[in-house]
Structure formats: C-alpha cells, structure tokens
Structure 1
Amino acid sequence: MKYPHLFSPLKINSIMVSNRIIANPVGHVYEDKALGRPGVVIAGSVITQPGKSSWASPEEPYGFHKYEVEKTRQRILTAHRGGAKASIELGHAGQYARVAAGDFAIGPTSYTRADGVEVRAMDEAMMEEVIYWFAQAAKDAKEVGFDMIFLHFGHGWLVTEFLSPLFNKREDEYGGPIKNRMKFPLRILKAIREAVGPLFPVEMRVSATEWMPGGIEFDDVLTFIKAAQEYIDMVQISCGLDIEHEANVYMATTNFSEHMPNVKYAKVVKENVNILVSVVGAIMNPEEAEGLIADGIVDMVALGRPLVADPDWPIKALEERAEDIIPCIRCLQCYHISTNRRNVGCSVNPRYTNEAWVPRVLSKAEKKRRVVIIGAGPAGCKAALTAEERGHEVILLEKENYIGGAIHYVAMEYFKEDIKAYLEYLKAQLAKSKVEVRLGTEATPELVKALKPDTVIIAVGAEPAAPPIPGIQQPNVIGFYDAITKEEEVGENVVVIGGGTIGAEIGLELALLKGKNVTVVEMTDTIAAQGNMLYKIALRHKMEEAKTLSVMLEARCKEILSDCVRVIDKEGKEVTLPADTVIIATGVRANRKLAESFYGIVPMTYMVGDCERPRKIQEATLEGYTIASEL
C-alpha cells in the first residue's frame, strides 16, 4: 500500500474509523464526499440556541426539532453510504449571529455592530441558557444516531469570542487572563460531556492563531486545549477568523499561502496533550497527508476544499491513483463569502453546486460521434476528456507544442504551484485517455473540414490586448507571457502597465522574490478587479511584504520611452518612472474572429472558454464539460 498510515484504522473513544481522513463541512451536499470513502464525514452544521446562534438566518430552525429531525437524520444515512462515521457540527455565532429585526445578539462584550444590531454582554442567565442548548444539541445528536459531534470553537464564533482578547474585554471573572477567559468555554464542554456520557466521541475545532492584532496568543490556545482535553476526544487545529475578512484569508488560504500552514501548531499541540489531534488547512495531496500521519505529527487530517475539487480524493489515494485526483487550485470560488454569493462553484469540479443536473458518473452516449476540439486550454481539455468519457472519438488540435493554453504560462509563476498541479493533472488524464492529441497543429477551417467531424468545439482562448500607447514598440517593452518565460531578461527598474490579476502577480513576484524596483500602473481604482474578495485581500497582504513594489491607481500611461514611462497620476499630474523593462499586462481579448471562422463546417459547432469572452478557469471548465456531456 502506498499510503499505509493514512489508511490505517483509528479508534476515537468508542468508535473505529477505517482511515485517517475527515471530510470537513464545506457546502450542504455530503453524498459525493461520503461515497469517496473518508473515515469521518462532518455532515454540515446545526445551530444550538434557536434565534440567537445562526450565522445564516434568524429563522434557521433547530435541526433536532420534531419538524426538522428527520431531515437531519438523513445526513447520517448519507454519510454512512460509503462506510464513514457521521459527525455533525454544533456552533453558535455569538456576536455575529443573524437575529430578527429589533432583537439583540450576545457575546462577551457589549457593543453595536456595524449593521446597527446591539450586542449584549452575556450575564449568568444568558450563559446558562447557551450551556443548556449546547448540551441539548449534543444529546440530541447522539440520540438521533450521529456517531460523534464536532464543536466549532474557532474562527471568531461565540466560544472564540470568550477565549480571545480581541473580542473579550470583560473585567469580571470571565475576562482578563486565559484562566478566566476559558471558564465559560470549559463550562460548555463539561455540560456536553455530562449530556452524552463518557463513551461518545467529541471533537473540537480551535483557531491556533487569529491573524489579527490583539488576537489570542497560541500559548493561551494551548492552555485551553490542555484544560479541555478532560472533556473531548480530539482537537482539530485551524486558524484565522470568519467574519473578519482580513483574517479569513488565513482560515481559507489562497495561492499566496504555503501548503499545510497549521501543521506547525498542530505538532506542538500533539506534543502536549493526551488526546487525538487533527489538522485542517491546505493539505493538498496524499503525499502530504501520509507524511503527517507517518511522522506522528497528527492522528487525522481534515480536508475541506480538496474534497470540493475531488470528492473521490480518498478512494483514489487508496487505489494508488493520486495522479487522477483533481487538485484544488485554492481560488476560493467555492466560498460564498469570497464570491459574495455570486457564481459560487468549483473551478475544477463542475458538479459542485450543480449536483441537481451534473451527474456523478457520466453515462455513455447512445450515438458515437467524431468530435474535433480546437485549443487545449482548460476548456478544450475538459471538453475532450468529457467527450471521450462519453465514448466519442475525440481529436484535440493545439497549435502550440504544449497543453494548457494560458495556464501553461501561469503555472510557471511562483505563487501558482496549485495551478501547476492542475496542469499536470490535465496532461496525465489526456495521456491515459483515448483522446487523439495533435500538438503543433494549427487548425484551419480546411483542416477541420477534412477531419469530417460530427461536432466542433472551439476553445481557441484569448490573446493579450495591446493598448494604443505611444512608444509601445520600444525595445524595452515586453508582453506578460515573455515576462514570465524570460524573467532573467527583466531589468532592475520595471513598470507594469495593467494591474489586473496577471499584472499584479507578475509585479509582486519580480519585487518580492527578485528584488526588482516595480511600479504597477492601473487605470481603475482597484488592483486585480477580476479576483474575488478574499483573493484581493490575500494579494494585498502579500504585496505589502514587497518593499520595492509600488502601485499607482487611477493612473494612465501617457508614453513609453527607451528608459522611462510617462504616467498621468490620479491628480492629473505627469510622473516619470524609470523603466529598464516595461511589461504590458492590460488583459486579454477573446479570439472571436478566429473562433467564428470555424462555424459553418457542421451544424453542431460550439464556442467555450475565453474565446467567448475572457473569464476564469471556473467558467472554462464548466462550459467545456457542459457542451461535451450532452453530445
């Protein structure tokens, strides 16, 4: 077995799990993750205190109410389908709770929220009520048939609010030093243990660090865990906060963070407690997970977004098919906070959020067709693999000598190791498939017609935009692809024209890692406007580390000279920037003229991806899949 430690059994209190993988609660669909065969499935969450604890809606019902309990019980049956143990998250949003109009939220300290809602400091009666509801929810979870429970005591929710001096400003016995701040949380844990008895498994999540000034120190977190171990069986180490978006990017990490950022904290916890320890956070592949278990750093690994990208991650690892695991690219498109609840989905898994109409397993086509696909970027590759899986004869034409289209270049960037992993996945899948890949073949209408296709899928992508800037033909001017592939030729003083995601990341890498003096000139008032909210926050944090990087917003390039760039700043003043190298990163334009030239060969002709209009990998993947899955 390739990953013997990852797939070794483990006893959690009175239950036995078949492997060391926890499917953390992301989204509201658990069936795919359960069928992927992790050891534990945390089947979403239930509120504890009705009307006061929901992070979603004041009307959210209590999951064990008589009119809700049967729906909640179905989560157990779903989790059990693949042999996993069923867990349920119990939480209380505290000061961030969604409450009815005119009502108040509760927390350690009184204040008025930005949305005008009053938050009242909890008195003893309020504490007793919260303790009652946590214990009742735990008892109800056990009685309805869950195998264990998962207490969300991290990310800025109620218990965290008491533990952390960032939120807890009390001057009574529940504030001040950690021994006081953890009194109320320990009372909750004691009541839960008494409610479920000594043999029922209890797991607790905590944030090892909050990534906010004034947040809890890790030593205090460790002190709390050591006291809490009397009542729990396993602690899951996370970090960051939820509603505080500046810290959210460390809870749900982006491509600017390292893999496994919380392991260093989990290791210390494991060395200091006598209970099981799990860890969550960018554990991306089976090799990383196996190493954590084999080295005794943790007892279990918790996977969130990797199982969004590929719910079959565990079974593929067990069957030693790691190359078939679809890698998460950490784009955060699956996260409703990051996307402001718009276009929520997965960039690499079209089924996520589309479970109602995207099947888990594709059926074979009733009629076999010859499908010609033009362009081997993400959209073209996904279309080719999907059509081939349906049983069609597929010919994939690519004018370059490589697979990937634009991500061939993106994968070369330092902060894009997850995109690189996805590119390698696409290459591996094409190599294993029956798709006929013709690299170095520039498609023409005549060539495509000669192939006698039944269907043509056009995925020719987009081309770099060249703005009409005087001097753009100067020898010191290069495009963003050349800036990536010929980084050694970039001079010491660099001006990047265009502060979208491409220009911003190129400028960041040149300044932070190469020490170049870089100025990014952007016409709008926003850097990386195409990126989602958390991506932009994480990018800003990383850019702030680059001391030789400057950004000019609401500025336009007036002229490029052989050694400088003349820019009009937001005040209308002309500024001269020294420039050994000028990088044009003003976005891309859909290659529509080329795409449209392939219409008229066969009736079944479709455009997918950036040649329709430039967007994200998410749209390219979904469109490539959608068209091919219906052929």
Structure 2
Amino acid sequence: MFPHLFAPLTLRRTTLKNRIMSTGHDTTMPTDGTVNPALIAYHRARAKGGVGLIITQVAGVHETARYTSHLLMATTDACIPGYTELAKAVHAEGAAILSQLFHPGREIMESADGLLAVAYAPSAVPNERFHVMPRPLSLAMIEEIIAGYASAAKRLHQAGFDGVEVVASHGYLPAQFLNPRVNLREDGFGGTDAKRQHFLTRVLAAIRTATDDDFVIGLRISAGERDDEGLTIQEALAACKALEPGLDFVNVTTGTSASIGGAVHIAAPMTFAAGYFAADASIFRKALKIPVFVAGRINQPQEAEAIIASGKADVCGMTRALICDPKMPVKAEAGAVEDIRACIACNQACIGHFHRGLPISCIQYPESGRELTYGSLKAAAKRRKIMVVGGGPAGMKAAITAAKRGHDVTVYEAANQLGGQALLAQLLPKRAEFGGIITNLSREMELAQVKVRRGIMVTAALVQAEAPDAVILATGARPHVPDLPTDGHIQIVTAWQVLRREVKLGAKVVVADWRCDWIAPGIAEMAARDGAQVTLAVNGLHPGESLPLYVRDTMAADLHRLRIDVRPYARLFGTAEDTVYLQHTPSGEAMEVSGVDTLVLSLGHIPVDGLALELQELGIAVTQIGDCLAPRTAEEAVYDGLKAGVAA
C-alpha cells in the first residue's frame, strides 16, 4: 500500500529500512541526566513496532546547555554505558538510532534548583517567551561549546550510535548564530552570512574529526521560525546550502521556542492541518542534493506516503503517531490501516506532560511511557464474566484491556452510540479530530471481541440478573448547575445544550468558565461565529489555564481574532434582569455584564454514580472509573480503564 514509505534509504553505511522516523523529543524519563531503563523500554517498543529511524532526545554538549532539570547530558564518559544499552536495544529490533546534540543558548526553560539560570547567546538579545536576558558568549566559551559538540559525538560513536543530529531548530543556539536579528556580533562569528554560519561550520567539522567516515551527521533546522524576529525560510535555506558539504541530511521543521506564537509549531495541535508544513519542506528538497526529512502533524501512513511520493521529502517524522501507536509501522506495512490507533494531536499527555515535568504518555494509549509497567499484558489466571457499564473512553479501555487478558466482557451503554463526552468534545470548533478517540477505541473493542449492548439503561436488577464476576462502572458525569440567584430574565443554559444545538443564544452571550479548559472558549468561539457579542468570564488566570501550552496559545489567538471580551479572575455570582453579576476573585469587587440574552454555564461536572451506591448496598463489589469516580479529562478516564482492565 505504501511503496515509497517502505523503501529503504542509505545514509553513509547506515540503511533505514523505511522512511518513518521518530524525531528527537524530550520524554522526561531520565532522572539523573543519563539513559535509564524506562527510556530504553520506550524506544525499544517503537523499534519493535517497525520504525526505520529513532532520533533520541537532546543531549547537552556543555554545562550551560541545561535548559530543563531533566536533560540528558553527553558531557562526560558516564553517559556511555546507558547510551550503549539503548543502541543495542534499538539495533536488535532492526531500527537505526541517532542522538540529537543540543545547546539552547538563551532558550532556558527552568533550572534544577528553581533559581534563574545564567543563559548564554551570541548577543544580549532577550528571549520573549521565557523572559531570559542572555550574556554574550566570549570567544573562549564558543570554543568550549564547539569542542563539547565534538566530544559528545565521540561518546555517542563509542556507544554504538549510527550518528547524530545537530539541533539548529526552534531558535536554539545554532539558529541564534544564524539569525541576524539575534546575532549582533562583529567578530568572526557575526556580521555577514558566512560569519554567522561559521559556528555551525566549525561544529560539523569538529564532529566529523572526532568520529569517522561512517558516522551520520545531520542538521535539524526550522525552515522559517514563523515569528517577526525569527529565522526566515530564505536564511535557513542559505545556511543549509552553505553547510551541505558537511551534512548527510537536513531535517526541517518550523517555529521557534523564542515566542508564544512561534512555539505552537513545536508540537502543533489539531487546529493545524495534517502535514501542513510539507510544502515548505519541498523548497529544501528541491534545492539540496542530500536527503531532506520533515516533521509536523504527519499522523497517518497515507499522509507520509503522499509527501514522499510527491517529492516533498525523503523521510517523515511521525513522533506523536508513534507515541499513540508504537506498532503503526508494522500495521501500515501489513496493510492493516484500520487497526492503526491514529494520533488526534490533543497534546495532553505527550508535550503536555513534558511542560509539567512529567514522563510523556498518550491519552489514547497510556501504556506509552509506562512500558516497564504495562508493556505486556498478563493473561488472566481464570476467565471471568465482566460487566462494564458505560461506553465512554473509560469503559471502552477497561473492556479492551480485560478482554485482551482473556475475560468475557460486555459493555452496556445507555445511549445508541459509544463515546460518552467525546461525542460532545468533537463538536467544539476545530476539535472534530478528537472524535478519533471513539473510532480508535471502537476498533480495538472489535479486535478484542468485546460484546456491546447499546440503548440499555443498567439497573441494579439487571446486574443481579446478569450475575457477572466483576462490575466496572464508567457511568460518566453530568454538567454542574449550581443554585444561582436569578430572576429568570436571562436564559441560563449549559455548554452541553449549546453543543447539541438545543438552544438559541441571542445577540449577547456570557460564557462562565470554571474549569479553564477547552470547553468554554470553544462555546465562546461558536457563539461569536454565529454573530453574538461574547464575554468569556474565566474563573482563573486566563482561558485554557489547565490546557497544554500550545493548545491554550492557539486558542488565545482565536479568541483575540474574534474580539471576544475575556475577563479573568471572574467568579460567577448570579443574574438579575439583563445583567450577569461576577466577582473579581483577588479583590472581591463586583463585575457586571449588562444587556445579556444568555448565560452559558461551563462550570465542570458532577459524577453520575447512583448505580454504584445501589450495588454497594446490595453487597456487589464495583470498580468505579472515569468521571463517575471523579470528573476529569479523557486522559484520566482511559488510564483508569487500563488499570481496571489489568486488575480485573
């Protein structure tokens, strides 16, 4: 089905068995700056799943490269044993492996002790996103860092890696040298294009000298940083042409860490089209003689096949697709495309975990990042009859997991369609792809031979009649509607009613947002696009406070473009006549919005757990999962389902 995607590609003496790549991405799994068993198990799973090339997360090349508290470091020989075990594990499964070599320059996110780090860059040009003012690099320190790239590459070579990728993407140190708006130097490392390229020229030459002729050397670069002060496509292309003699491939991406608007492209959310960056990559493919790799929301093998077949790139980075389904390559090669668990670019457990300093995972496949615990399911000692009540993500995952272990599982769903609240989530603007979680879990249920009974409202009597060996309750939640003081003049509705198009909102709308997630901003956008004047009253610091950064920031851009009036620190108090009354939470002062037709409540959810109480009174043991245990997100629901299925 995918002849171009599964054609081999040779880089020096390393042959990639296919054109699918896991790009370098921080997993937050290392705990002491070296490779650990969790990281090895994570990459082994993807290698076993058929990926052609794994590029491991950034390895710091100098002590000043510590941009987070959990960075892998390649500055001493202590790193070699861990890297050796990782290379052996990946090679044993048939994949090639490279490591990223990294220095962030001014892009310092955090330090290990919570103190502000001293950042270094070509010039004292501040970073906007992290509010870092760097020190200009001395010539002596530049030489130290160049030597650091070489010594790090030498260690990786000794560990058995096939090569390295120098990270010049997303506004990190090499890109800072290339950018004339960030590099203001007038010495041998700045002032002209050639001098600005000199840092990377020296780095690449030093790496080649420290390794050998078989060692692969690549460059990752943003083909345009999508920021007014960022590197342009033309500047990046000129650098690649100049550096091409020292390179075996160029891996192009887009965006920059330096600004909020540019950073969303580091892991673009579902609001961006699949493969949206491939057209820009083709500019580099046409201009360079070496292979060009590309990444950026390439989630399905058919998308990657089309990109490669059309000549836009030679290899496709499919990192989040591989986090969601490590076996995606072998499934694609076998033609089992319907069995692929497709990434929906929600960013919740992958890049979202990273930004919270947690090991990455996937909301659809929580086994990712937890391979040491859930890498393989143990068969049940005894086949049991299991009744799962509720066919949302929690119930579906529990049923799949229990059935895979050998149990006889039936899911009972009150509605005529599986999916629970995911059916509503997919109705929000630009969130249609979220419905993919239903499609994916439904297919997995089919493959696991889970029985499904729809349109069945389960009662305690039905449970007694079925006499299951175990009951898993995933009965979900309903909107929280508090007893607000109101005279009934203003229409008060829930977000669920708006999503189902059960109500007309009128000309002026207030959306009350307690959860600070995607629901209320999505409702506000819907109302604004329908022509209403909208106020979004957020009981938090800002809209999307609980969301992954790039989802939140993309959402903030849409709210601004739609001229939605956003009021943070706003607690809903009540309504009278045509006025919605709010309270400013820090000051306690009143806030008012007048002339309102409709107040939309997005104030969280409360569990639907009545059946649990009834069964407990009858002495029937139950396991509650998902929102009926505590309303949270799909990530917690699916993880609850996994744990319940393993324990069944």
1:540 and 1:601 map into 2 onto residues whose CA distance is 50
Tell me whether 101-110 or 260-269 shows the greater mean CA deviation.
Answer: 101-110
Residues 203-602 of structure 1: matches in 2 within 5 Å? Answer: 203-242=218-257, 247-329=262-344, 330-335=346-351, 339-342=355-358, 345-358=361-374, 360-471=375-486, 476-486=491-501, 489-498=504-513, 500-501=516-517, 502-511=519-528, 513-547=529-563, 549-557=564-572, 559-560=574-575, 564-568=578-582, 570=584, 572=589, 575-601=592-618
- Contact 1:135/1:192 (8 A) holds in 2: yes
Checking the alignment, whether the CA contact within 8 Å between 1:557 and 1:565 is kept in structure 2 is no
- Cα RMSD of the aligned pairs, angstroms, is 3.0
1:495–1:577 contact (8 Å) kept in structure 2: no
Deviations 1:402-427 (A, max 9, x none): 10100011112232233122211122
Partner of 1:3: 2
CA contact (8 A) 2:189 2:198 kept: yes
CA 1:487–1:78 in 2, change beyond 3 Å: closer, same or farther? farther
SS in 2 for 1:192: helix
CA shift, 1:339, in A, is 4.0
Which piece of structure 1 moves more, 297-306 or 56-65? 56-65
Match of 2:30 in 1: none
Structure 1: 5+ residue stretches without partners = none
- Out of 43, 55, 58, the residue aligned to residue 30 of structure 1 is 43
Structure 1 residue 306: deviation in Å?
Answer: 1.9
Alignment partner of 2:218: what SS?
strand
> Equivalent residue for 2:35?
none
Q: Which amino acid aligns with 2:420?
A: G
State the distance in 2 between where 1:557 and 1:58 align.
40
The change in CA–CA distance for 1:7 and 1:568 in structure 2 (over 3 A counts) is: same
Q: Deviations over 1:326-365 (max 9, x none)?
A: 232322322367542258532122223322321x232221
Question: What pairs with 1:19-58 in structure 2 (closer than 5 Å)?
Answer: 19-26=18-25, 27=27, 28=39, 29-49=42-62, 51-56=63-68
CA drift at 1:231? 1.1
d(CA) in 1 for partners of 2:397 and 2:463? Answer: 20
Cα distance between partner residues in 1 of 2:132 and 2:504: 56
The question of whether the paired residues in 1 share the 8 Å contact of 2:490 and 2:599 is answered with no
Task: Indicate yes or no: 2:83 matched with 1:76.
Answer: no
Secondary structure class of the residue paired with 1:356 = helix
Q: Render the CA deviation track for 1:535-594: whole Å, top value 9, x for unaligned.
A: 3333212322223x22222335555578x4433464845634434443222221122334
Deviation at 1:431, TM superposition (A): 3.2
- Looking at structure 2, the residues matched to 444 and 99 of structure 1 have their Cα atoms a distance apart, in angstroms, of 53
The separation in 1 between residues aligned to 2:413 and 2:431, in whole angstroms, is: 23
Matched AA of 2:139: E
* SS across alignment from 2:615: coil
Partner of 2:123: 109
**Counterparts of 1:132 and 1:240 in 2: how far apart (Å)?**
28
TM-score by length of 2: 0.88
The one-letter code of the counterpart of 1:75 is: L
Q: Does the C-alpha gap of structure 1 residues 593 and 216 become closer, same or farther in structure 2, counting only changes over 3 Å?
A: same
Question: How far apart are the structure 1 equivalents of 2:425 and 2:456?
Answer: 22
Indicate the SS of the match to 1:316.
helix
1:72 alignment partner AA: Y
**Pick aligned residue for 1:618 from 617, 623, 635:** 635
Identity of aligned residues (%): 27
- Please say which of residues 38-47 and 401-410 is displaced more in the overlay: 38-47
- Does the CA-based 8 Å contact 1:237-1:279 persist in structure 2? yes
Q: Note closer, same or farther for the CA distance 1:177–1:587 as it changes in structure 2 (3 Å cut).
A: farther
Q: Is the 8 A contact 1:456 1:602 kept in 2?
A: no
SS for the counterpart of 1:448 is helix
Amino acid corresponding to residue 39 of structure 1 in structure 2: G
Q: Does structure 2 retain, via aligned residues, the 8 Å contact 1:363–1:390?
A: yes
1:454 Cα deviation after fit: 0.6
Distance 1:497 1:163, change over 3 A: same
- Counterpart secondary structure, 1:328: coil
Q: How does 1:112-127 map to 2 (within 5 A)?
A: 119-127=134-142
Q: Given that residues 399 and 440 in structure 1 are in contact (C-alpha distance below 8 angstroms), is that contact kept between their aligned partners in structure 2? A: yes
* Greater alpha carbon shift after TM alignment, 155-164 vs 394-403: 155-164
Shift of 1:40: 0.8
Cα distance in 2 for partners of 1:438, 1:79 equals: 43
How far has the Cα of 1:142 moved from its partner?
A: 3.1
The one-letter amino acid of 1:152's match is V
In structure 2, the residue corresponding to 1:230 is in which secondary structure? helix
Q: Aligned partners of 1:334, 1:292: CA distance in 2, in Å?
A: 24
Assess, with a 3 A threshold, how the Cα gap between structure 1 residues 244 and 602 changes in structure 2: closer, same or farther: farther
Q: CA deviation at 1:377?
A: 0.8
Report the Cα distance in structure 2 between the residues aligned to 1:379 and 1:102, rounded to whole angstroms. 41
Contact 2:383 2:408 survives alignment (8 Å): yes
Q: Does the C-alpha gap of structure 1 residues 621 and 437 become closer, same or farther in structure 2, counting only changes over 3 Å?
A: same
Relative to structure 1, the CA distance from residue 514 to residue 279 in structure 2 (aligned partners, 3 Å threshold; closer, same or farther) is: farther
Cross-structure match for 1:15: 14
One of 109, 125, 150 as aligned partner of 1:135: 150
Which 10-residue stretch deviates more, 215-224 or 244-253?
244-253
**For residue 619 of structure 1, what is the amino acid of its counterpart?**
E
SS in 2 for 1:237: strand
Identify if the C-alpha distance between structure 1 residues 171 and 212 changes in structure 2 by more than 3 Å, giving closer, same or farther: same
- Looking at structure 2, the residues matched to 117 and 414 of structure 1 have their Cα atoms a distance apart, in angstroms, of 35
Q: 1:614 deviation in Å?
A: 1.0
Deviates more, 1:399-408 or 1:461-470: 461-470
Q: Distance in 1 between matches of 2:353 and 2:471?
A: 38
Partner amino acid, structure 2, of 1:356:
L
Find the aligned partners of 1:508 and 1:5 in 2 and give their Cα distance: 41
Number of matched pairs: 624
Amino acid at match of 2:11: I
- 2-side partners of 1:252 and 1:195: how far apart? 33
Distance 1:294 1:444 in 2: 55
> 1:437: Cα distance to partner?
0.7
Corresponding residue SS for 1:94 = coil
Displacement of 1:210 in angstroms is: 2.6
Alpha-carbon displacement from aligned partner over 1:283-326 (angstroms, at most 9, x marks no partner):
11112111111111110001222211221121121122222222
Query: 1:381 deviation in Å?
Result: 0.5
Structure 2: gaps of 5 or more residues: 28-38
For residue 603 of structure 1, report the CA deviation from its aligned partner: 4.9
Compared CA separation, residues 7 and 492, structure 1 to 2 (3 A): farther
TM-score by length of 1: 0.90
How far did residue 232 of structure 1 move?
0.8
Secondary structure, in 3 states, of the residue corresponding to 1:496? strand
Flag the 1:179–1:112 CA change in 2: closer, same or farther, 3 A.
closer
SS state at 1:279 partner: strand
Amino acid at match of 1:71: G
Over 3 Å counting, the alpha-carbon distance change for 1:205 and 1:59 in structure 2 is closer
Q: Which residue is equivalent to 1:62?
A: 74
